[in-house]
Structure 1
């Protein structure tokens, strides 16, 4: 842990830089061409389902490489940009950090017609590794990115040296308690989104009604799309398809098959669950019980350990970076 202590000064300056970043609500292009990412963005052309699409990614090269690579996989309501602080910190330690935007998210393509699956997102992610000629990586997935990370590890175990799941969704099978909702209904809900509804959801679901100004940028990223009247229907449609993917394709039944050394970082205040508002009131409170789900998942993944973060919600690396990074670095330095 000496390295962590030495870098405390770096961490403070990094946090100050992030908090100083100014962001305003404005109309955003469908692939965020008018939204600057924290690091240079590259694109990989993919031929998939009869169409040519582009997958965006950032490849952050350290000044003093330690020959280890870590992949950071974003959540459902985010993109690679929210990993800025994490990437800068890990890069200072010598890690090469690769941050993709999954198809349908961020700067990547939003296909007019696309059949989403976690297997497909995992295989798309592997295309980036192959393109960069990377044979072994550490994989860190947050929220929906945790489901992608778990599926990737199950599909390509020989490529994953360590797995970190940060408040992943999908630790339970939502369809056992949440009534089915068609893609069309998910779509209609997404079409109604605006700044106020997005902020309300994040305020109550992520931050326990305690808002900080630095959270605004993550609302503005989604709300800025709703101001794009021409393209927002396609964005909303892709979002609806990925909601259906999460609901219909649980990974929790296969956790026992993961043999990779795994760290679960679980904010104990988190109660997130896809479709929770649709569930009967009698079972709603049992959904998204992360303190219980974290322990259950650790018992399923044989070679795993659990870091429980008290009074932290669904976004540890945004809400309290110091609490998030400490167990991560300890795990990586073993």
Structure 2
């Protein structure tokens, strides 16, 4: 009987491990074995005494209307998840530039790097300068929304329009969440697994309603956990958590000069540090149904589009409700 139970346990363990392997395949640290939806270019940037590679897609349509837009990805993503957005915008004649920030996607994962939104914005400006793009719209999702805000503040003459899609950083978490050092975030990242990543996205992004097309964005993170160099990925992830937590942009929304569109899925409850506070405090964080309106009131010359019953990823979860107001705004 004991042998039978042991066999069952071993069988279950192997089955679970196999299931994870089936869903999350080993990925190269710079995603060399993962194909993006459009050709990827590489620019070499020398920053902080290092020579680093920054990947980006530059998609210029045959019916180019002379207008450009840069798409900034979120923390748990890379440029690939903009596929349908790129398709729709190029169809309308827009040239679309999609960078992978340092530490993300196909770009370098340095062993040591001082992450600031200013540095990432400057890196992106280097790409635009190399392409001789002087003016562009800037769209940022999630963490990319914080970066897009910083870019617009640093380069107001370059930023024709600003679009923020469920950006994080609409509140200052330091006022409620106790500070944790980078090492704490690093230890958490080392514990990541397919199951944990999927559970987080299921609960926080999709309101416990999963669709097969969401699997790809779990696999891209989980595949890295199978790499022997995952510690480098985890360390970069920890550093960017620290950047997000310690470098709020919320106090500077009033200084944005560009016409701005806020696209907000009101079901979103994303907030950094919820596990570190009481349940009572947690319930006051990440209330996008309130934060969208508050931010709209703070940003001069802004418009607000609220998408009901949609969470953190409108361009994935309800694409038509996202793309229609975006195109209308860009064509004004």
TM-score interval, normalised by the smaller of the two chains: over 0.9
- For structure 1, the residue ranges without an aligned partner over 5 or more in a row are 1-22
Shift, 1:282, TM fit:
2.2
Inter-partner Cα distance in structure 1 for 2:257 and 2:293: 17
Shift, 1:291, TM fit:
1.1
Shift, 1:24, TM fit:
4.8
1:245 is matched with: 243
Superposed, 1:82-121 pairs within 5 Å as 82-121=81-120
Superposed, 1:1-334 pairs within 5 Å as 24-228=23-227, 230-334=228-332
2:19 is matched with: none
SS in 2 for 1:71: strand
SS in 1 for 2:70: strand
Inter-partner Cα distance in structure 1 for 2:246 and 2:100: 22
- For structure 2, the residue ranges without an aligned partner over 5 or more in a row are 1-21
Q: Which runs of 4+ in 1 moved over 3 A?
A: none
Give a deviation string over 1:274-300, Cα, whole Å, max 9, x none: 111212222110100101111111111
Inter-partner Cα distance in structure 1 for 2:64 and 2:277: 48
Inter-partner Cα distance in structure 2 for 1:131 and 1:24: 38
Inter-partner Cα distance in structure 2 for 1:244 and 1:280: 21
Shift, 1:46, TM fit:
0.7
Across the two proteins, how many residue pairs are aligned to each other?
311
Shift, 1:126, TM fit:
0.4
Shift, 1:25, TM fit:
2.0
Shift, 1:333, TM fit:
2.0
- Calculate the aligned-residue CA RMSD, in Å: 0.9
Shift, 1:328, TM fit:
0.7
SS in 1 for 2:167: coil
Inter-partner Cα distance in structure 1 for 2:162 and 2:261: 6
SS in 2 for 1:115: coil
Inter-partner Cα distance in structure 2 for 1:276 and 1:183: 17
